[in-house]
Chain A
Amino acid sequence: MDWGLILNNTLAWVFMPETIAYAIATLGLAVHFGYGGLLNFGQAGFMALGAYGYAISVLTFGFPWWGGLLVGVVAAVVFALILGLPTLRLRADYLAIATIAAAEVVRLLFQSTIFDDYTNSADGLGGYHESFRSANPFPPGTYGFGPWTWSATDLWVRVFGLILLGLALLVVWLVMRSPWGRVVRGIREDEDAVRALGKNVFAYKMQVLVLGGVLGALGGFVVALPSAVVPAYYLPSLTFFLWTILLLGGAATIFGPVLGSLLYWLIMAFLANVLPALASTGMIPGLNNPSQAGNLRYILVGVALILIVAFRPQGILGNKKEMTFNAR
């Protein structure tokens, strides 16, 4: 086994666009669930809207890249409003059911052949990069060192992703320490009590849904930046990867999603490299097909999610004191 190669391949994920994208989208989930108490199981739908909003506006309507980004954000806002109006008056568990269904509706609409001219149905969209790449401030060349060596385009994608992540963190941090954040956390605890204190609970929940949804769309945008937009990417399993990240890092924390996303992708990349290598040397009993060994990691993700929820429900960065009162 080539440990140096495995280590290199793993560390490359520290600055992978997907790592950054998942951190942003999970920060949206933290706003929904960790702070607002809204059980959103449809974050993949918001991500799909961000990605498709970008790709379709650029490809079909000839928007510049930033126009596509804005379209994705507006689409997420509209989706949040449509989703929230009928469901936010219901209890949290009903919202969970509605969100998972709504996200599937979004994905299936993009996948269906009805809008083939715009979405290219199941094959997805690609080749929308020109506008974004032409805005690249870095001259062509090779940047970085060690496992982190990038072309100018790769660097631009990562830098822009990190800028978005930084802005997202700043906004969530500012707003959650303000009186607005206090009301939102109050709603998480008991919305009737907050209502009795004269706060328009419905309006706050809607704002929370919109804010977290916009972060989801920004995550989808960053996923789409270096690659292509394929509907099969936005399956409900994507939402559950985000939930794993959220619970790993800590639900009601600002940096939990960042740390969670980092750990998640490092572990995934490590396993993706190690498991096939182990399998090919016959060290995993009953598994000698390297490509199947790679899939074993998804089973391990499921097990990890169960273990986190059972033994450290507050996550790595979460406040243990909070959970002493809440976990059981």
Chain B
Amino acid sequence: MPANQPRIKSTGLHVGEIRPGVPKVDPIIVADNVTRSFGGLKAVDVEHLEIPRGAITALIGPNGAGKTTLFNLLTGFDKPDTGTWEFDGKNLAGIPAFKVSQLGQVRTFQLTKSLALLTVLENMKLGAKNQAGEKFWNGLIPALWRKQEEEIEEKALALLERFKLDTKKDDYAASLSGGQRKLLEMARALMSDPTLVMLDEPMAGVNPALTQSLLDHILGLKDSGMTVLFVEHDMAMVRHIADWVVVMAEGRIVAEGPPDEVMKDLAVIDAYLGSHLDTDLGVVTGRIDVIHEDHLVDDIVEEALQTEAGSTTRPGDDIQEEKVQP
């Protein structure tokens, strides 16, 4: 990977010794005794969890660890069996999902939910909060909402430009590629000026060329003062952008801490990363020769990128052309 401009990671987020459930200096989410069972399976069993404000927190863990369930609970999309949690000092237990979102805690979904038969611009406009024209009787009188609509459109177009979707604004969201839909969903969430953005596997199914720009966008959220909580499986990415990592396994928080330290944690390696974390996959499967030096890998990647750049199709071009065929 070509080295990116390094951004400074937030440190000193926690108070006292690092352990699961460690208090934070300035938490935005505080959850206590949150449990949720499906039949006999305890999907989530979180004793205490605090998410630091103004930082990027990654939630990692093996499949079935309860990450998405915890997401659903925190955002009001699912109801826990027990527990309380607060966002920004406000108790959120029993608050329906749409109100959670209105409070400034906006989420995206693991399986992207773009509104397929609305245009990209309509998708964006839908994200704006407090629209006068969204009340039935006001809707009948365009004079009541036309001005606000123009402001919303301006804001939507600016965001679309930032996410490089502005040329697609009049297309149906259904015609976007998977990666572009991820971008659209993230941009749409930003229309409401949230304080906390929760991204459920933002990189799943996104091609490597787009991953880089998605990463930049996530870092950009932090730059503009938002708190980010995301679920991700890609360890390189987590290490790259997260300021804090929370590890879940079998519904519990098993470890947390700054990324570099968490990845050395034995519990984490046991639960999730596996003993081959630092070994190339080719070595594990025995299908390619052992590559000892890390920079050698870099060289190969670099070379590949350059040959690709020389050919007619650059990485990223395929995004434009990738369309859903009828």
Contacts and interface: CB of A to CB of B under 8 A. Distances in A.
B170 to A, nearest CB: 11
A325 B117 contact: yes
Contact of B136 (A180, A185, A321): A180
A167 to B, nearest CB: 11
Given A182-B118, A322-B172, A190 B113 contact: yes
Nearest to B123: A186
Interface string A213-225: 0000000000000
Interface stretch (A116-124, A170-178, A239-247, A300-308): A170-178
A182 B101 contact: no
A198 B326 contact: no
Tell me which of B101, B102, B114, B115 has the highest count of chain A C-beta atoms within 10 A of its own C-beta.
B115
Interface string A76-119: 00000000000000000000000000000000000000000000
A30 to B, nearest CB: 15
B139 A180 contact: yes
A198 B117 contact: no
A196 interface: yes
Nearest to B188: A197
For chain B, give the interface size range: 35 or more
Contacts of A211: 136
A324 B98 contact: no
Residue in A181, A186, A322 with the greatest tally of chain B CB atoms within 10 Å: A186
Nearest to A208: B136
Interface string A187-218: 01110111111111100000100010000000
B127 interface: yes
A185 B139 contact: no
B113 A182 contact: no
A188 B118 CA distance: 10
A92 B198 CA distance: 28
A279 interface: no
Nearest to B135: A180
A181 B115 contact: no
A201 B77 CA distance: 13
B16 to A, nearest CB: 35
Contact of B116 (A182, A195, A326): A326
A102 to B, nearest CB: 23
Given A190-B115, A322-B117, A325-B174, A197 B127 contact: yes
B134 A192 contact: no
A179 B132 CA distance: 8
A194 B102 CA distance: 12
Contact of A207 (B131, B132, B136, B189): B136
B192 A198 contact: yes
B116 A174 contact: no
Given A185-B118, A189-B117, A325-B175, A195 B126 contact: no
Nearest to B191: A197
B126 A174 contact: no
Contact of A179 (B98, B102, B108, B133): B133
A183 interface: yes
Nearest to A192: B113
Given A196-B107, A198-B101, A325-B117, A175 B126 contact: no
Contacts of B113: 190, 192-193, 196
Contacts of B139: 174-175, 178-181
Given A198-B129, A325-B117, A175 B134 contact: no
Given A174-B140, A195-B77, A195-B98, A179 B149 contact: yes
Given A185-B117, A197-B127, 6 more contacts: A179-B132, A180-B133, A182-B118, A186-B118, A192-B113, A201-B98
**The 5 A-B residue pairs with the shortest CB-CB distance in the complex, in nearest-first order:** A178-B139, A180-B139, A179-B133, A198-B101, A193-B113
Interface of B: 75, 77, 96-99, 101-102, 106-109, 113-118, 122-123, 125-127, 129, 131-136, 138-140, 142, 145, 149, 172, 174-175, 185, 188-189, 191-192, 324, 326
Interface of A: 171, 174-175, 178-183, 185-186, 188-190, 192-201, 207, 211, 321-322, 324-326
